[in-house]
Amino acid sequence: MAARWNSQCPVLEFGMEVGSELIFSVEHADAPVTFSLFNYDQWAAYRSLLFDVMSLEGHKETLAITCMHAATTRVVFDPSVDAPNTTYKIQIATASQYTFQVASCTMQHNLVN
């Protein structure tokens, strides 16, 4: 299976079979960014944590949770080390619905696209 999208935002809920690959490249980043691939169960657990968030301060805490919550795979792109247009491949070992999230997981740039 090959799927391609050009996006600067998270991609929610797509299915992947065993043996598939998720291939992505980073064209530009001003700060380190983290790409997290969550399977259905991991994302369901993450979403359940969000139901407890009621304030803006709580929302800021969820940004940190995105970076620390268990994920199938997590890839960090650091523009001070990694070249632009770096391509990454993630092998899918378990068939599932997945979600692909992009976040900056540094203290200086804790933002979620």
Cα 10 from Cα 108, distance rounded (Å): 21
Q: Work out the average pLDDT over 45-62.
A: 62
What percentage of the chain has pLDDT greater than the value 70?
A: 67
Is 4 domain-assigned?
no
pLDDT on residue 24: 87
pLDDT higher at 110 or 88: 88
* 111 is a domain residue: no
Q: Does a structural domain hold residue 37?
A: yes
Has residue 63 been placed in a domain? yes
Mean confidence (pLDDT) of the chain = 77
Q: Note whether residue 113 is domain-resident.
A: no
User: Which residue range forms the structural domain that includes residue 78?
Assistant: 12-103
Does a structural domain hold residue 16? Answer: yes
Tell me how many domains the chain contains.
Answer: 1
Query: 0.85 cut: is pTM over it?
Result: no
Task: Flag whether 30 is in a domain.
Answer: yes
Split at pLDDT 50, 70, 90, the class of 90 is very high
